[in-house]
Amino acid sequence: MKIHHLRNATLVIETEEHVILVDPMLGKRKTIAPFTIFRYKPKRNPLVALPKNSREILSRVTHCLITHLHPDHIDKAGEVYLRRKSIPVICSSKDEKTLEKRGLNIIQTLNYWDPQPFLGGKIIGVPALHGYGFIAKLMGNVMGFYIELPNEKSIYISSDTIFTDDVQKALIELKPDIATIACGTARLDFGQPLLMRMEDILRFTALAPGKVFANHLEALNHCPTTREQLRKALTENNLLSKVAIPSDGTSVDY
């Protein structure tokens, strides 16, 4: 299995038989309004362009997973790409109607903790909580995915979440070989962080039974944590050897 990191939370899982796109934010730089005006500099998003090799990788995609509807996970350009190529989309049952209205080809919907067949293996929707405190309600529903495919390592896409009992359950009971984690510590102008604070990133990493793939970094104006800060914290806690912190446009072989 190879995981291509494109930008932010947009990644591509490549196996022998399938090429699965996750959360396509495919627009050009500065096509999305700033997510914060006062707390951090009000720069338009994304802050960085898609890497040059994205087009070639995207040309091979066979399926798409969407964790939730925020524009940094599915933007207008992502929708156009999915519509134009009629890519089969898998999502939460809570997002089905909205995505169908946008003209996407929804072939499978998931409920939390309900295993379903998927590409010859299985997929489970895992609850995600997008923020600490009241802010999570405003952020709406989010779904992580646990995927097992024949002759491939298992993978848990935790998506935009803080550390919860459900996240802990996914790591301990499902025992994924690879777990992705959103590490940007995003914040709006009000409320607590929308993603795990560093202590919870470290907790997640320590608990993960296999390798960890860190993303959601250095692409949005409301995500202050840098790759270097993450690397430093992981090193200080003797966890860096478990974690890949890919640059945009690079891939990791598992």
Report pLDDT digits (tens) over 2-45: 999 999 999 999 999 999 999 999 999 989 888 999 988 889 99
Task: Say if residues 56 and 100 touch (Cβ distance below 8 Å).
Answer: no
Instruction: List domains and CATH numbers for the chain.
Output: 2-245 (3.60.15.10)
To the nearest whole number, what is the mean pLDDT of the chain?
97
User: What does the pLDDT average to over 45-74?
Assistant: 97
User: What are the counts of helices (DSSP H) followed by strands (DSSP E) for the chain?
Assistant: 7, 14
* Nearest-angstrom CA–CA distance, 163 and 153: 23
159-210 per-position pLDDT tens digit? 999 999 999 999 999 999 999 999 999 999 998 999 999 999 999 999 999 9
CB of 249 closer than 8 Å to CB of 53:
yes
The confidence band for 104, taking pLDDT boundaries of 50, 70 and 90, is very high
Q: What is the pLDDT of residue 213?
A: 98
| Distances from the Cα of 242 to the Cα of 29, 125, 154, 201, 245, angstroms | 31, 24, 16, 13, 10
